[in-house]
Structure 1
Amino acid sequence: MKKYFQGCAVNKYVNITSVFTIYEKIFEDTYYFDGESHDFWEFVCVLDGSLGVTAGEDVCILERGQSVLHRPMEFHRLWSEKKTEPHICVISFAADVMPQIKEKQFQLTEEEYNTISGLMERAGSIFNRDREILVKGVHSGKEAESQIFFNTFESFLLSVLTEKTPGMDAYVSVSADNYRSIVRTLEKHIAEHLTQADIAGLCNMSPASLKKTFSKYAGIGIMTYFTQMKIRRAMELLKEGCGINETAEVLGFCDRNYFSTVFKRTTGESPANYLRKQQQ
């Protein structure tokens, strides 16, 4: 008698669909990057030296073997710390499956550190890169190696995202605490239409002090940051099934047309197109 077995489907916890950059770089001790946000994930690891990082409301100093994972549309910026020349590696990617994560900074084990170092050493022989940064394709005959590369990176992410390691200490200073307070205030009032004076009042700061503090850690204007925060939340709402009109109203935009203009300027596509992609 034949026996029939029903297989057990295994859902992926991390599934990378494309990669944008793979590179490592050594910065000068005076390096300062104004910051950016984009619609893909970005993993940054310090191989040597000390690196200052702003990631959303978080401000931290990363040392050798420490890393940060930036979510899509999360504002972040980098700078050299402690008069060192930080040596970092970066992999930015898109994924259709990623876990909900609370912690964004991770302390790598020596084995994990060696894994990411090994991936960076092999990247040049596998991928065709523009200026050794932007991934343009896979070298002919290296298709199997490219799959191994991303299988290894996915396994690496699974390891760091599921480990129960102690949280890393936040950067401690009065200005850093004020910055965190400002971002939390913006999050609390994300549905409102606020001016810079309104935000200063809510944070019990003068407009000048607000501007100085925010510029130090964000590198962009607070109103630009607030708009990007609203659009990031809009993407989440649209993905959850909210309509365009409802999303615009919830986030304090005066009308749908203005919301659509700001959404496209920030993300590169209209909310209608983004919504269609989520429904496919």
Structure 2
Amino acid sequence: MDNQILRYNSNPFSLAHTVTDSPNDIKTHIHNCYELFYYISGDLTYYIEGQAYKLSPNDMILTNSRELHRIVFNSKCRYERKYIHFKPEYISSFQTDDYNMLYYIENRKLGYFNRIPANDVLEYKINELWEQIEQTSLETSPESQIMRKAFFVQLLITINKIFSKYNHSLVDRHKYDHKIVAILDYINKNLDEKISLDLLQQTFFVNKFYLCHIFKMNTGFTVMEYITYKRIMRALELLTSGMTALDAAHAVGYGDYSTFYKAFKHITGVSPKQYYRK
């Protein structure tokens, strides 16, 4: 069970600071907002869109509203973290034509460069800005909401500064299994087609049983789990654009609507038609 040290919730911005004494794995999920995750302690691997991040204290993870992620705990060590959830409209009044505070959160390849290492977090004083955001969330003065947003804007600008200094050097510091990267890319480009382990075996010249092993080891997902989640996420986009549930099912590779229905409700908690009407 999570022990709440701090929680503040005011849509479209919320934050929390929690501790879990004996954590369990956090299943694959996706947010309808952006998440800034500040790691304090524990023993975990953070999986995002097929990339595995082994975290150190004071590391920070950024995910946007399109990135599947999950957490696997390597032991039952005490787990402490902070996180902020927000939607772009929270800071829209500060955006300009010349400067996009969400540039590096929005414009990364999915699953790439999600981590800001601890040395940068501390050097750029992200930890201090975060503490100021928390402090203003505890206050009830008339100016506290303005101050909280001001500190948060500073935090986003600082994140942009950190990523802008990397340029292309960050690519050399993050190693990927190129076979897995190619498979992930293929899946994401062919969600409307029938994708099976046999097909992937033939396409990438790798034994399907070995493929299952290295895919899970590198991504934290099974092959079919990843495909299912990505198809449902794509279906959500199509339903939001006005497509009917049946057409959306066919558009993401489901020939059988009942199978689509079960997968959709399992992942989203509502039926396709309920989501469409909402």
Q: Give TM-score scaled by structure 2 length.
A: 0.66
The 2-side partners of 1:237 and 1:39 are apart by 17
Instruction: For 1:110, give the aligned amino acid.
Output: Y
Encode CA deviations 1:77-133: one digit per residue, 9 max, x unaligned. 34689x9x898633152526385332533454523232124445x48x83xxxxxxx
Give the structure, 1 or 2, with the largest relative contact order (CA under 8 Å, sep 6 or more): 1
Q: What are the within-5 Å matches in structure 2 for residues 44-59 of structure 1?
A: 44-46=37-39, 52-59=45-52
Instruction: For 2:70, give the aligned amino acid.
Output: R
2:27 aligned with 1:17: no
How far residue 267 of structure 1 moved from its aligned partner, in angstroms, is 0.9
Q: Which has the larger radius of gyration?
A: 1
Structure 1 residues 257 and 78: CA distance shift in structure 2, 3 A: closer
Contact 1:200–1:210 (8 Å) recurs in 2:
yes
Q: What are the within-5 Å matches in structure 2 for residues 194-273 of structure 1?
A: 194-273=195-274
The 2-side partners of 1:104 and 1:241 are apart by 31
Gaps of 5+ in 2: 1-9, 93-101
Query: What is the total number of aligned residue pairs between the two structures?
Result: 241
Structure 1 residues 33 and 217: CA distance shift in structure 2, 3 A: farther
Partner secondary structure for residue 269 of structure 1: coil
- Once the two structures are overlaid, the 10-residue window that deviates more, 211-220 or 95-104, is 95-104
Structure 1 residues 240 and 234: CA distance shift in structure 2, 3 A: same
Contact 1:43–1:91 (8 Å) recurs in 2:
yes
Structure with bigger helix share is 2
Partner secondary structure for residue 87 of structure 2: strand
Which residue of 98, 101, 107 maps to 2:107?
Answer: 101
Gaps of 5+ in 1: 1-14, 127-138
Instruction: For 2:114, give the aligned amino acid.
Output: K
Q: What is the match of residue 164 of structure 1?
A: 164
2:119 aligned with 1:116: no
Structure 1 residues 220 and 51: CA distance shift in structure 2, 3 A: closer
How far residue 160 of structure 1 moved from its aligned partner, in angstroms, is 1.9
Structure 1 residues 25 and 143: CA distance shift in structure 2, 3 A: farther
Structure 1 residues 263 and 155: CA distance shift in structure 2, 3 A: farther
Taking only aligned residues, the RMSD between alpha carbons, in angstroms, comes to 4.0
